[in-house]
Homo-oligomer: A and B are copies of this chain.
């Protein structure tokens, strides 16, 4: 069975519907992956995720390396068993966190010393300042031990405003590292008895020529899927839309396309789907939920969200979103959620997390149906 099966391409856009086949089951695309950084999606357990009909979740190599450590996870035959989740998992390579968290100082003023060389990156833990080193080879070995179904090449993630000279250096290093990741992965592609699939990552900051050069390079390598990375992706949707349009012509039609970190607003997913993206992850839906920001179908001040902590919801006995069929919306009111946040009850965070994730997963189901029926553009406009 092939890894990725393209089922349909929308007639009026680049939007695609497909299926990814893994040793832990199928994933229908386009899809949104809840982020379970530290072997749990914050406030939820694996049964909550099943109830949400999540078909895949994301784990984070940097965080899992620091806690509990890949060797412990390896000891119990991988992350699926460790967290009792038997559906697909994707791990990022840690590249993003090494460069973002690795530069933060701990409370004790430690850390902040991320050093890059041709071989790899030396960084300090954001937790205790201890020193660690990732190379393309070790990032793959760690991901083999963690055992996600889809793993990512180790890359250097550059910010929006990177000077061109540095963006070229970082991109070319990312390309050399991509090849090393492929070589390392081939040594042990199924450590826990099932195939792990490796994705390459396109970088090149916000420069058209670099993005195209990187897309061409990465898409010509023997990866199972292609991701579009960089700090702009997801956080600057104007740039994201532009970058996706630049790289689209290079993306292989027979491999999944993954834009890393898109989903700050639900509508952002549709922008990326329109550009041929199949896979999404973003911490925003869960992080916003923990701060009482609830996704809603009808826009409120231009955004698909309300702040449930606002006093106007204190006696609003409607469901959080009247069009939603999630556990939270079927069973609890805005007034109850408002009270839970006002009284600083953790249950409020959990119920909001369930809602926001259901909202994203369901939006992708609806988008998929629209693509299969060649009406994606209307669907996007109506949302």
Contacts and interface: CB of A to CB of B under 8 A. Distances in A.
Interface of A: 38-40, 42-47, 63, 67-68, 72, 75-76, 82-84, 314-315, 317, 327, 331-333, 335-336, 338-340, 342-343, 345-347, 349-351
Nearest to A48: B347
A125 to B, nearest CB: 13
Given A76-B335, A315-B72, A43 B84 contact: no
Contact of A72 (B39, B72, B84, B335): B335
A327 B47 contact: yes
Given A39-B336, A39-B339, A84-B336, A45 B350 contact: yes
A228 to B, nearest CB: 29
Contacts of A338: 68
Interface pairs A-B: 8 shortest CB-CB: A68-B339, A38-B343, A40-B347, A43-B346, A67-B343, A84-B331, A40-B345, A45-B347
A328 to B, nearest CB: 8
A334 to B, nearest CB: 12
A74 to B, nearest CB: 11
Nearest to A315: B72
Contacts of A314: 68, 72
25 contacts: A38-B340, A38-B345, A39-B336, A39-B339, A39-B343, A42-B346, A43-B346, A43-B350, A44-B347, A45-B331, A45-B351, A47-B327, A67-B339, A67-B342, A68-B335, A68-B339, A68-B342, A72-B339, A75-B315, A76-B333, A76-B335, A82-B333, A82-B339, A83-B332, A350-B350
Contacts of A42: 345-347
Nearest to A347: B40
Nearest to A72: B315
Nearest to A317: B76
B84 A332 contact: yes
Contacts of A40: 340, 345, 347
A314 B317 CA distance: 44
A75 B335 CA distance: 11
Contacts of A84: 331-332, 336
A83 B347 CA distance: 11
A326 to B, nearest CB: 12
Nearest to A44: B347
A51 to B, nearest CB: 10
Contacts of A327: 47
A336 B342 CA distance: 31
A331 B49 CA distance: 14
A294 B327 CA distance: 28
A67 B339 CA distance: 7
Contacts of A331: 45-47, 84
Nearest to A345: B40
Contacts of A47: 327, 331
Contacts of A68: 314, 335, 338-339, 342-343
A335 to B, nearest CB: 7
Contacts of A45: 331-332, 347, 350-351
A68 B316 CA distance: 13
Contacts of A342: 67-68
A76 B39 CA distance: 39
Contacts of A336: 39, 82-84
Nearest to A338: B68
Nearest to A327: B47
A336 B45 CA distance: 11
Central interface residue in A39, A63, A346, by most chain B CB within 10 Å: A346
Contact of A346 (B72, B83, B346): B346
